[in-house]
Structure 1
């Protein structure tokens, strides 16, 4: 095994492979236990495997660590990781702690720790990367940094808050919103609230869209009305409507009153529809152009980087006005069709007139049948007067048809047929060395 010193913050997100090169998951944290008169011993890693399940990988099953990857024997207990009272997670609990330096020079904050193999299969924390408080004017307001041996620091409170919310947010900056949502739901309630209050509105909106509605409603309940309204404004209107529907009528109305009128109007319109109809799950801000608009104009609109792929799959063509509810719906132009015509071609001349719109009261089951039968990514929704009021995208339908707990890794496991794989094998217990605790 490699004897290279490894800094734990650099391990976060590293891929985990078995000896055959099959990818098993990603490292999310390192687990240590404290010992008397000795540095903390590494007992394993928290690894996220497919299904966003976080499991424990014993350090004894790690073959090598380095070059941005972890190699294991391939044997992983796929039961969900449950932290023991004696265990400490480095990224979540140690980084950000205040420590006193043994040389008497004052306090510092731990920004990273190094682990090192000190014997065959035996890893421990050997070094800390710390930052001293700023003394006087300093560039960017940050103090000096230093590498110190672990036995040269004195932790002031091992049961403290650990990594600050800001540091945790920074360490998860590259996580997709769905993965960050799972991470937040696994944190203790108060810890999750601290992180939520530090997240920018746009990032929190993305995360809430990926949470189960009940969990997202609980998070929203911990926010003040002004902040909650700001977050709802930047959410997709259909997701915001689903979330407000989970709140009491009084608070939902109060938040709508605080939102910008345009965003609030979209949400109110969606709340007026039955949630199990096309109107209840549609997106009320499709791409709409006139028949005189050109292919070049259509491609420019769907090229916008903030646009969801399913929403950019087609352009709706209507009579004026071009904001829902629009003038009479004329048809749609799929982006692939636009690619087959010159930039100056008028959209009105290349309409797909075979794709019929659905009414806002069409049941979800019928909308899903239409999408599947005609291999569509989106279907337009019109009112009783033939005016476009929105579009239903395939992800809207999938989200509505899946069970409420579909985001849960436990739910995925209970529905997944049993399979035998060489890479991930369920073990009868989570074995430990004597110093790291008994079998789980």
Structure 2
């Protein structure tokens, strides 16, 4: 049997051993590093979930790149969104490295036909855009009753073997997270809210950075301040780095001044700069509500490019509905705002069409000091999910989305008001 290659099939299957060493590029085509390993999380039920790549960048430094920031894995190239956290990768207790730990692991075939050695691991992207380990390339070990089959190599489903998960201690931590994995961030936040303080911090510390960031955005002020204050500074800074800048700014503003200052110093410079800019605005103004990372493209971009950006998992549905078209630079504060392209309009056009020809120039822009009342009136009047925020030179500073406005209009304790949601989440957790 020929050993499988890393080239993705029509089902997006990628073999990790062959992926190692593959060049990683940003959207402009510049190489940022090479794949060193793949990080997976074992689950109590179902296939292990692949959560990110360990990428070796300059000076042999290894960093973590979430798979949510990978737009393409193809033969000889991995393409990312360009958002790269350069902090050195630190493996967590519930994470497993495929190349470093799973290759050469001994597994037992469930059909009783003996044992084998894992030589490669295949992951596939599902319709949910999540990646899961689905296949193993295994070579049978010598054993009684296997005459003529010694050394046989075969591809098997991950469910066809046991022994892949590792030590009992690792399995115990995995089992705990597996009971919470399918909960939406808001429901998981309800579960954490009802846990004792120590237990809440233990569970939060075991979540990966992006999952914890999503949960913190759904927690009340007291809970999220307690969690971030209980994490070590570097871990807390990592989590703030992957939060939406407006949510990170809200959280930082709630922390004691000394803790906030320490975290800003440890965050990635670009992320920290976004947070500092947002902290300069009053809370209930367009500047205080906005995110600095909406979907921004140049007029020369195609519809296909715009739709690819809208499909990114880290973009909320409210922000995905509108692409802001500007002159360079494309990072906020950008060049002059030319107009917006609505997702619904883009879906009606051919992929090669330039978005500069689809502009809606009539959407009213906000100033950073405009109050929440004006923001709400404009969103309601024109049935929009987001609005641009510009400076006096019409440079795009960010965008305010309807979900951010709702968060500020609702009472401060609205998350604790729906006991039914908490009861449902706790019931799901109790029964796995």
TM-score under structure 2 length normalisation: 0.57
Structure 1 gaps of 5+ residues are 1-8, 11-137, 144-162, 414-440
Give the corresponding residue for 1:299. 307
Pick aligned residue for 1:230 from 209, 233, 238: 238
Q: Is 2:251 aligned against 1:243?
A: yes
Give the corresponding residue for 2:380. 372
SS at match of 1:253: helix
2:353 & 2:316 partners in 1: Cα distance?
25
CA drift of 1:318 comes to: 1.0
Taking a change above 3 Å as real, the CA distance of residues 411 and 405 of structure 1, as seen in their structure-2 partners, is farther
1:195 & 1:343 partners in 2: Cα distance?
44
Taking a change above 3 Å as real, the CA distance of residues 141 and 346 of structure 1, as seen in their structure-2 partners, is closer
Taking a change above 3 Å as real, the CA distance of residues 142 and 253 of structure 1, as seen in their structure-2 partners, is closer
Give the corresponding residue for 2:274. 266
Q: Is 2:329 aligned against 1:339?
A: no
Matches for 1:60-209 after TM superposition, within 5 Å:
140-142=165-167, 166-209=174-217
Structure 2 gaps of 5+ residues are 1-43, 46-162, 422-432
Q: Is the 8 A contact 1:328 1:387 kept in 2?
A: yes
SS at match of 1:359: coil
Q: Is 2:321 aligned against 1:317?
A: no
Give the corresponding residue for 2:9. none
Taking a change above 3 Å as real, the CA distance of residues 296 and 166 of structure 1, as seen in their structure-2 partners, is closer
TM-score under structure 1 length normalisation: 0.56
SS at match of 1:330: strand
SS at match of 2:356: helix
Residues 60-103 of structure 1, C-alpha deviations (whole Å, 9 max, x = no match): xxxxxxxxxxxxxxxxxxxxxxxxxxxxxxxxxxxxxxxxxxxx
2:236 & 2:262 partners in 1: Cα distance?
10
SS at match of 1:332: strand
CA drift of 1:166 comes to: 4.6
1:310 & 1:322 partners in 2: Cα distance?
20
SS at match of 2:254: coil
Residues 215-266 of structure 1, C-alpha deviations (whole Å, 9 max, x = no match): 2111111111111111111111111100000111111111000001111111
Aligned length: 259
1:140 & 1:374 partners in 2: Cα distance?
53
SS at match of 2:307: helix
SS at match of 2:212: helix
Matches for 1:33-52 after TM superposition, within 5 Å:
none
Taking a change above 3 Å as real, the CA distance of residues 140 and 345 of structure 1, as seen in their structure-2 partners, is closer
Give the corresponding residue for 1:31. none
Give the corresponding residue for 1:361. 369
2:365 & 2:383 partners in 1: Cα distance?
14
CA drift of 1:301 comes to: 1.5
2:178 & 2:164 partners in 1: Cα distance?
20
SS at match of 1:333: strand
SS at match of 1:391: strand
- C-alpha RMSD of the superposition: 2.2
SS at match of 1:210: coil
Q: Is the 8 A contact 2:295 2:309 kept in 1?
A: yes
Q: Is 2:205 aligned against 1:221?
A: no
Q: Is 2:325 aligned against 1:286?
A: no
CA drift of 1:168 comes to: 2.5
Pick aligned residue for 1:392 from 400, 409, 430: 400
Pick aligned residue for 2:265 from 257, 263, 268: 257
Q: Is the 8 A contact 2:245 2:291 kept in 1?
A: yes
